Structure 1
Amino acid sequence: MADGAGRYRAGETALIVKVPEAEPVVGGWRERFDPSAEAGVPAHVSVLYPFLNQDHIGDQVLGAVAELFGSHGAFDLRFATCGRFPGVLYLAPEPDDQFRALTLAVAARWPEAPPYGGRFAEVIPHLTVADGQEPSVLDTVEADLARRLPVATHVSSVQLLVFDGIVWREQADFALRAPRISVPRRDGQR
């Protein structure tokens, strides 16, 4: 298996949404077949990778990131199906439009940090389970996952991870705006 830490450079950062509810379903497979798990990255959906290098992230950038994410509402989603890229098996978030909106907002604010370094024309939100594997391995993993899905989660924040040269560590957590709750007035009006 490839060394997960060898894929990254010290000081690299990522904006992700952790999905702890998926760990019981995907954790064992990720440990075996996803190099990012070996490098300390939990089950997640990337909002933007790579983001700015760590030495370009000071209080002003952290404040701007917090403001940007605070302008987007929290949301619920589920993972009920798998998808594939060449050599990659992933869980597909449903709906995925909120992730796309978050990615587009960050990329518009920091155009020097295009998603995946600009390697792909379209960003497809996903939770990677296996990476760099043969189709037969992906078939086995997908068959197991099909019996264990869906996974539901509530997304209320985005995390900033930094690679320290050995593992990824969480540096900051940015809250999304809480959903507005309509409370009826005593006279029955809203």
Structure 2
Amino acid sequence: MSRSSAGHSVLVVPVPELETYVLERTRHYDDSFVSADPAFVHAHITLLAPFLSSPTTDDLEHIGKIAAAAAAFDFRLDEVRVFAGGTIYLPPDPAEPFAALTAELSAAFPQCPPYAGLFEPVPHLTVDHIAGGVDLASTRSTLTPYLPAQCRADRVSLQWYANHGCRTIAEWSLGGSPGQGEGAEIACIT
């Protein structure tokens, strides 16, 4: 999991149903990305990354309005796939609500194209990488106790990723009050 040690922010939908598995794999690859923040969920489906380094109160309010306008929804994770680069992932079913949130957030923050514009966003939950004896078959096998997973997308989380600094900055309920992210501590993001 190669990420800059300086860090970056990301907007995600947490997936607590897969937290045990993803947390173990995070520890395996780079323990410095294990968060001590109890609100932080390592298992997630990315909506927009990288996001702003220092979001303003207006930015947070705008995210809150987008989250409030979208209803919470159920989804299922049961298929294991691999991207061409070797990232093993679970596609959510349905994927459309995630894609719609990404499109809305991208339109609201055009300076933050998904994945820095390097590739087209595909809703997914990363679970592993092909390397060092890990392959699609071994990952399917280790995921057997967790799948199929019935999940609920009920919030958008603004998270900070950095070595020894992963944390939740703000969260908004899907279909909730647009002001839920207000007052979030953002001053420490650099």
- The bucket for the TM-score relative to the shorter chain is 0.7 to 0.9
* Residue in 2 that maps onto 1:38: 33
Write the distance in 1 (CA, Å) between the matches of 2:162 and 2:138: 33
Kept in 1, the 8 Å contact 2:22–2:42? The answer is no
* Residue in 2 that maps onto 1:182: none
Cα distance change, pair 108–30 in 1 and its aligned pair in 2 (3 A): same
* Residue in 2 that maps onto 1:108: 107
- 2:165 paired residue among 151, 164, 167: 167
Kept in 2, the 8 Å contact 1:87–1:135? The answer is no
Cα distance change, pair 165–140 in 1 and its aligned pair in 2 (3 A): closer
* Residue in 2 that maps onto 1:186: none
Percent identical pairs in the alignment equals 32
* Residue in 2 that maps onto 1:51: 51
For structure 1, the 5+ residue unaligned runs are 179-190
Map 1:1-190 to 2 at 5 A.
7-8=3-4, 10=6, 12-33=8-29, 35=30, 38-40=33-35, 42-54=42-54, 57-85=55-83, 86-120=85-119, 122-131=120-129, 133-134=130-131, 136-138=133-135, 139-146=137-144, 148-163=146-161, 166-177=164-175
User: Partner of 2:66: helix, strand, or coil?
Assistant: helix
Kept in 2, the 8 Å contact 1:81–1:146? The answer is no
User: Partner of 2:134: helix, strand, or coil?
Assistant: helix
User: Partner of 2:88: helix, strand, or coil?
Assistant: strand
User: Partner of 2:60: helix, strand, or coil?
Assistant: helix
User: Partner of 2:116: helix, strand, or coil?
Assistant: helix
Write the distance in 2 (CA, Å) between the matches of 1:159 and 1:119: 23
Write the distance in 1 (CA, Å) between the matches of 2:34 and 2:21: 19
Kept in 1, the 8 Å contact 2:12–2:45? The answer is yes
**1:10: how far off?**
3.2
Structure of larger gyration radius: 1
Greater share of residues in helix: 1
For structure 2, the 5+ residue unaligned runs are 36-40, 177-190
AA in 1 matched with 2:20: P
Kept in 1, the 8 Å contact 2:76–2:151? The answer is yes
AA in 1 matched with 2:106: A
Instruction: Tell me how many residue pairs correspond in the alignment.
Output: 169
Q: Structure 1, residues 67-92: CA drift from partner, whole Å, max 9, x if none?
A: 11111111001101111112211111
TM normalised by structure 2 equals 0.79
